[in-house]
Amino acid sequence: MNSTSSSAIDSRLIKEVVKNYSALDYAPKLRELVNIIYPDTNLSSYGKHDLHRKINELILNGYDGEQVLKYRLFKVFQTAKIVAAYEIKVKNSRVDFLTLNGYTTSYEIKSNLDNLDKLAKQSGDYMDAFEFNNVVIHERHLSKCLEIIPRSFGIITADQSGHSFIRKPIFNRFLNPIVQLSLLTKKEMMKCFDTADCDRILDLFSAKRINELFKLALKARYQNRWDFIVKHAEEILPIDLQFFFSKNIKPSHIYG
């Protein structure tokens, strides 16, 4: 195959691959995607796993979007004694990554390809739910980000060359138990509080106790999913991590 490096490939072509790629794609579709980058290459000898791997390499090395930063967050926490999760809905926002290790810590990603239009709303939503909050941003966003986010938010800049900690998060003392309860299912509330009636929970439990049980509920919800991708990390290709977190399908069933 053409040895042209990812850095020399038109970024618009890689964006087209990202837009159309799915871990569930079969070989013919995968060949079409690789041919976007290498139109003159005969890929008939490439198996399904080889094609998945080639597309993942192209995205990982030549794309500035959030998928790459989500993989890097996984690598940071892969060996830590935590539970983590991708894409958790909070009010009308959806936090990109959350860790649970006695505390809830959120990570909102704003890559080089993103804008900050929703960041004020997102940061306010996360303040209602989580104890520590961070933004993971491309350096070009830094000055504007400082104007938008609360002072308690940590800031991490990240790009293809690595990441830097600009400031650490400060413990958030403005948690909203009503918002936390809204993140739980009725089944989770019954298990934690013996009732799914939010008003009754607010009457019977302190905000501190609701936060403690909220964390236990999230940990129980995401434990198996996180353990699965950690266990199969060597088999899962980088850009496909969130798919396997959601589905917990053996990688061999997808790539075989």
Contact 215, 104 (CB under 8 A): yes
pLDDT of residue 8: 65
State the pTM of this model: 0.93
Q: How far apart are CA 107 and CA 34, in angstroms?
A: 31
Q: What are the per-10-residue average pLDDT scores of the chain (256 residues)?
A: 58 95 97 96 94 96 93 95 97 97 97 96 98 96 97 92 90 97 98 98 98 98 98 98 97 96
Domain boundaries, the chain: 1-63, 68-230
Q: How far apart are CA 61 and CA 110, in angstroms?
A: 18
99 phi/psi in degrees, rounded to 5 = -115, 150
pLDDT of residue 33: 97
Q: How far apart are CA 47 and CA 15, in angstroms?
A: 23
If one counts every other C-beta atom within 10 angstroms of the C-beta of residue 241, the result is 21
pLDDT of residue 242: 97
